[in-house]
Amino acid sequence: MEGKKDKKKLLKGYIALIIGTLALSVSPILVKSNNAPTVVTSFYRMMIPAVLLSFFVPFRKENDRQDCSGKRHSLFPFILFPICAGLISGMDHGFWSMALSKTSVSNATVLNAMAPVWIAVFSLVFLHEKFNMKFWIGLVLAMTGMVFMSGKGVDFFREGFNEGDRIAFFSSIFYCGYFMFTQLGRGHFSTLKQMWISNIACSVTLFIFCRVMGHPLTGYSRSVWMGFLMTAVFCQIIGYFSLTYALGILPASVVSPTDELHSVFSSLIAIPVFHEYLSLHQVIGCAGIVIGVILINQGKLSQFRDEAGETAAADV
């Protein structure tokens, strides 16, 4: 009976992960179509859901947690997890926006997408998470696929890193932090409350970036404001809400690399929308990402089954 519950829980997590990935695939399309600075779009993407979710989040003291000994512990100290997730997410968006002004979109995207590598390392060292060979092979394939998606292939490694590349690479560490702190926060808070607190902290951080970079927050056309709203709804309310839910079930080491599939979906969507057809490099990259993500999830699912078997044996 317990095994069926675990399978249903995993299925819910993967359904949420797929929904979130599909919703985030429209993000590059909306950002490219919107005539506004990327960091401003990111600010409204976070601020609008923070305001809307305020009507649904219960303003009451978070329930205490009862441990196995029967003692109750306040969850208030753990509020640092969603706050840190939001602050770090704001740093990620802010630095990535700065990188876009100093390097190409493809370079900034690929270097920022290195986050799954840092997540695997941090999960291994600090959370003592186990990974089998299939997982590591899948991760290498997925990351190599992201490089080929940039359209440069092996030439990407021959070029020296400019300032924008270094900033984008730096932003990937913050992107990693967002997933890690969200995973930790979801161990204590509901999806709604985790995301609401995180979005508020992220909005404050991005507001500071907008002021420092000198980008105005007002004076945009009606179509641009509509773009802000659509980005908030699709990318944040649907996309990241689904990923936040998934992170309460699946580890960040699975959610983050699987989320890289949104770059594949974005490329496919761009064909009819912008008439941007995939080059041979990008086709190879798409194949690498898809195969890599499949191997990553197969590797982790086999570990879940092994752990479940060990638990059942121990209970007997």
Above 50 in pLDDT, residue 233?
Answer: yes
User: Could you tell me the pLDDT band of residue 277, with boundaries at 50, 70 and 90?
Assistant: confident
In a domain, 48, yes or no: yes
Query: What pLDDT does 237 receive?
Result: 93
- What's the domain count of the chain? 1
Q: How far apart are CA 247 and CA 241, in angstroms?
A: 10
In a domain, 201, yes or no: yes
Query: What pLDDT does 159 receive?
Result: 56
Above 80 in pLDDT, residue 31?
Answer: no
Instruction: Render pLDDT for 127-162 as a digit per residue (tens, 0 to 9).
Output: 888 899 999 999 999 988 888 876 655 555 555 567
Query: What pLDDT does 64 receive?
Result: 46
Parent domain of 168: 26-57+88-315
Count of alpha carbons within 13 Å of 67, Cβ hemisphere only?
6
Q: What is the mean pLDDT of residues 214-221?
A: 94
- Of the two residues 220 and 300, the one the predictor is more confident about is 220
In a domain, 2, yes or no: no
Q: How far apart are CA 243 and CA 198, in angstroms?
A: 13
Where is average pLDDT lowest: 43-57, 92-106, 193-207? 92-106
What burial class does residue 80 get, using C-beta atoms within 10 Å of its C-beta: 0-12 exposed, 13-18 middle, 19+ buried?
A: middle
User: Could you tell me the pLDDT band of residue 231, with boundaries at 50, 70 and 90?
Assistant: very high
In a domain, 177, yes or no: yes
Where is average pLDDT lowest: 47-56, 134-143, 262-271, 294-303? 262-271
Q: What is the mean pLDDT of residues 99-126?
A: 82
Q: How far apart are CA 200 and CA 80, in angstroms?
A: 13
In a domain, 124, yes or no: yes
In a domain, 72, yes or no: no
Q: Where are the beta strands (DSSP E) in the chain?
A: 65-66, 72-73
- Of the two residues 20 and 162, the one the predictor is more confident about is 20
In a domain, 214, yes or no: yes
Q: How far apart are CA 174 and CA 166, in angstroms?
A: 13
In a domain, 112, yes or no: yes
Q: What is the mean pLDDT of residues 196-216?
A: 95
What are the distances in angstroms from CA 92 to CA 77, 176, 186, 202? 24, 9, 20, 10
For residue 273, give the amino acid letter: V
Question: Please, what is the average pLDDT of the chain?
Answer: 83
